[in-house]
Structure 1
Amino acid sequence: MNEAILLALLIFSFGVIIAMVASKKNFAVAILLGSLILGLAITDQVAHVFMETATDASVLSLIAIVLMIKFLATVMQESGQIKNLILTLQKKLSYSGVLIAIPSILGLLPVPGGALMSAPLVHEQGEQSGMKKGEMMFINLWYRHIWFLIFPLSPPLVLIADLSGINLFAIIAMQIPLFALAFFVGYLFVRKFPAPQKKEEGPQDAGNLQGLIPILLTVLLATALSLFISTYTAFMIALPLGIVVALLYAGNVNKDMITKGVSVSLGVAIFGIMFFKNIIFASGVTDILSSHLTNLPLIVTITSLSFIIGFLTAHNLAAIGILYPIFSPFLTTPGLVSLLYISSFMGYLISPIHPCVVLSYEYFRPGFLESYKILAPPAIAMVISAALIYGLW
């Protein structure tokens, strides 16, 4: 297909998705419609890509995992476990500290869509100071993800270290200044919200962090199992146990709790995200973008193409896998390697088809423009800062 038509279909498909989400339409419908629009570029392959996605064990596992996380979060919220946990944390940390700690701690949950687990806790805390939904969404996403700039178990970070031949911890050391900047930017945002004048009294057993047990059991068991089996399989084993423990703590389980915890549209949305991503890869649009943007100055090319590929794929590991072979002859310094990583990471972070963005948006239900007015500027500022710092390194 003509390159111009393919690029036009890509832009139009993203435009349709964004317009539908902005007008509060169901995201699952929006992402499937966007996939079919882009699929017009490869009509002979759409059915094959659909079946490949529908029968992919990793996609089915991801859907199951996200649905179980949703159910676990609902049980904990409806039974008051989340509220008690927040009250406990309030005794140990400042108001801002609690807001930062919740997504940061749970952000190390190594599964796509894990932001759904921290969302109810951020919501419970944020409501106390009259925080807007878009602001809560930003905190949930920002502090969940920025740790992956320096987290040594982050798969994309491990991959780029392997591809570049640069020591993993040397790359981490290189990225600490940008991580510190990201943390500080988030802190400036969080601290503008005043702590509630009067804290609620916590339960008698608040000091023992009992509410963390279902989450910690899930995370620690999955982490241990992932040393021997795949991460997805580990969570397929660990999450049901975490749910059972949460139900035991809940005591009185009613029909409403079960109904709220089951979300068919969420499962369809996750499938749609993976289908759309596979359509993008099958169409070859990433190769077309690469061929055009490589004619720009090196720093501009690395920064812009990495951000765009991260944004389009909403999958940082895939973005690194696509980008590194393109730029490998030019990545002559550790700074340029970090520039590629951070630019693709920030594109991935704010992508409207990134599972964590989708799940946070579905949970908080902010205005679309409201949420992106808050999320996009610091992400773009981080990319520009990385270009200025690492481009001159």
Structure 2
Amino acid sequence: MIVLTMLLSMGLTLFLVSRKINMGLSLAIGAVLLALLNGKDFHYLVQLIFRTFSEYATLTLALTIAFITILGHLMEKYLLLDRMIEILERMLGSAKATILLAPAIIGTLLVTGGALMSCPVVGSLGKRLELPGDKMASINLIFRHALYFVFPLSTTILLATQLGGFSVWDFIKLQFPMAVVMYVAGYLLYLKGSPEPKIEAMAWRDYFKSVLLFFYYSSPILVSLLGVVAFQLSFHVSLVFGILLSIGIHLLDERTNPKYHVEESLWLTLYKGIKPSMVVVILGIMIFKNVVNDLDGIYTYLNSLLAKGIPVELIIFIACAAISFPLGSTQPGIAILFPMILPLAPDAHTKLLYAMFVYTTSFMFYYISPIHLCQVLTLEFFEVKMKDLYKNYTYILPATYGTMILVYFLAR
């Protein structure tokens, strides 16, 4: 019975997402159906929603996501990110190194379909490197998304660590090899052998000045991270300092150079930086998570599968394929599977390994999904066919997933 109700719930969620309904709202509706089909009543649903919205984890995660989107909007609006990229190329003295890092840096904005923002940068550098369109598209996607394994302000990593109840840094350390493989393999497959255009060398004083400017324009992101690492602040608190620093840099820019003047009021800019749809996604995920946590039948069924000798890894793989591929997103896989799979772990270390397995498998199926928005927009920009892009994934994605499998079994 529990399997049938889960399938019906997921079917409704997939249908609603396919009808362009917000993913969080779709998950919340799917959660309500799942609860009702398993004998829960209206009173339970009211209590569930009140409990979810008042939970510290829900509130802090929603605030963190809102502040991240505000910070990203400010850095884009005030041209801080553009200046970071320009200075980075001068510092590195290499178009190859810049094309490798630019999508990742722009990826810190973490906006849906944000790969489109780095397309012009990759396109400009790619032409100088004499790269074909399919390689430029691959570079834009691979070097952007490798960051998702290790960037502590990633909304997906924050969601995973909140739902899993483990340290962000423990999770990142475990996933670090996957990011390294993606970057190294990406360089070897797409950039090695391309002619490096000459960039005029800088005097050491100019170079030192460029380094200072790079840290200056990237300081809102760096301060947001430093507050968590060095001062043990909560992410949502640390992000406030990053937001204030962005505003301070902009005010100084306006005084020193009129070209950075923005007619829009600060309050309107801050308001536009809030992405309610992303906050709704978090709320929907937390509602679904709490419903699953309240259904003991799910754990009984999973334990019965394990008792029959079915490996938990196979269950994770099939479930991630069924959830993340059609939805074109990593987050639903995490939201649905973390509360189902992680309680099966016999200890904290195994729980972390299960989390990595779910995260990476969900990511892989999201990445290759035909409705992955970053992929769709990148293909459109570079006028590349999907089959040509998939050919470029022949080695890099299996190598990345194989690295996760290796880490998983070596660390057990």
Measured against the shorter chain, the TM-score band is 0.5 to 0.7
Indicate if the aligned counterparts of 1:87 and 1:200 stay in contact, CA closer than 8 A.
Answer: no
Q: Structure 1 residue 58: deviation in Å? A: 1.3
- What corresponds to 1:347 in structure 2? 361
Amino acid at match of 2:285: F
Pair 1:181 & 2:162 matched: no
Tell me, yes or no, if the aligned pair for 2:71 and 2:273 is still in contact at 8 Å.
no
Conserved? CA contact 1:342–1:383, under 8 Å:
no
Asked whether the 8 Å contact 1:137–1:361 carries over to 2, the reply is: no
- TM-aligned CA deviation for residue 53 of structure 1: 4.7
Change (3 A) 1:37 1:389: closer
Q: Gaps (5+ residues) in structure 2?
A: 37-41, 127-132, 255-259, 325-329
State yes or no: 1:249 paired with 2:253. Answer: yes
CA RMSD of aligned residues (A): 5.4
Matched, 1:90 2:89: yes
Q: AA paired with 1:183?
A: Y
Provide closer, same or farther for how the CA distance between residues 249 and 36 of structure 1 changes in structure 2, counting only shifts above 3 A. same
In structure 1, the residue matched to 2:8 is 8
Note if contact 2:100-2:143 (Cα within 8 Å) is conserved in structure 1: yes
Does 2:283 match 1:274? Answer: yes
1:126 aligns to what? 122
Q: Structure 1 regions of 5+ residues with no counterpart?
A: none
Residue 305 in 1 paired to residue 323 in 2?
A: no
Q: What one-letter code is carried by the residue in structure 2 that aligns with 1:88?
A: I
Q: Contact 1:160–1:320 (CA<8 Å) still a contact in 2?
A: yes
- 1:291 is matched with 303
Aligned partner of 1:234 among 231, 238, 247: 238
Equivalent-residue separation in structure 1 for 2:32 and 2:393 (angstroms): 29
1:216 matched to 2:219? The reply is: yes
2:35 aligned to 26, 29, 42, which one?
A: 42
User: Structure 1 residue 133: deviation in Å?
Assistant: 6.4
Deviation at 1:201, TM superposition (A): 12
> 1:365 Cα deviation (Å)?
4.2
The letter of the residue matching 2:312 is: T
Q: In the TM superposition, what are the counterparts of 1:92-111 in structure 2 within 5 Å?
A: 92-93=91-92, 94-102=94-102
Q: 1:215 offset after TM fit, Å? A: 3.0
Provide the C-alpha distance between the structure 2 equivalents of 1:195 and 1:13, rounded to a whole number of angstroms: 48
Instruction: Give distance in 1, aligned partners of 2:161 and 2:83.
Output: 36
In structure 1, distance between residues paired with 2:319 and 2:292: 16
- CA-CA distance at 1:184 after TM superposition: 2.7
- Secondary structure class of the residue paired with 2:345: helix
Amino acid aligned to 1:346:
T
Deviates more, 1:250-259 or 1:311-320: 311-320
Q: Give the equivalent residue in structure 2 for 1:142.
A: 146
CA deviation string 1:312-364 (max 9, x = no partner): 755869977764541327x9xx8x77853541231353576x9xx9xx94798
Q: How far 1:65 moved relative to its partner?
A: 0.7
| Cα distance in 2, alignment partners of residues 90 and 143 from structure 1 | 19
Task: Tell which structure's C-alpha radius of gyration is larger.
Answer: 2
CA contact (8 A) 1:13 1:34 kept: yes
Q: Percent identity?
A: 12
Q: Is residue 65 of structure 2 the alignment partner of residue 72 of structure 1? A: no
For 1:97-146, what per-residue CA distance to the aligned partner results, in whole angstroms no more than 9, with x for missing partners? 22333465688x7xxx7578996873452131367667634421223425
CA drift at 1:29: 3.0
- Aligned-pair CA distance for 1:288: 6.6
TM-score by length of 2: 0.62
The count of aligned residue pairs is: 358
Deviation string 1:259-300 (CA, Å, 9 cap, x unpaired) is 7875488322332233134224414576377336525657x4
Distance 2:318 2:251 in 1: 42
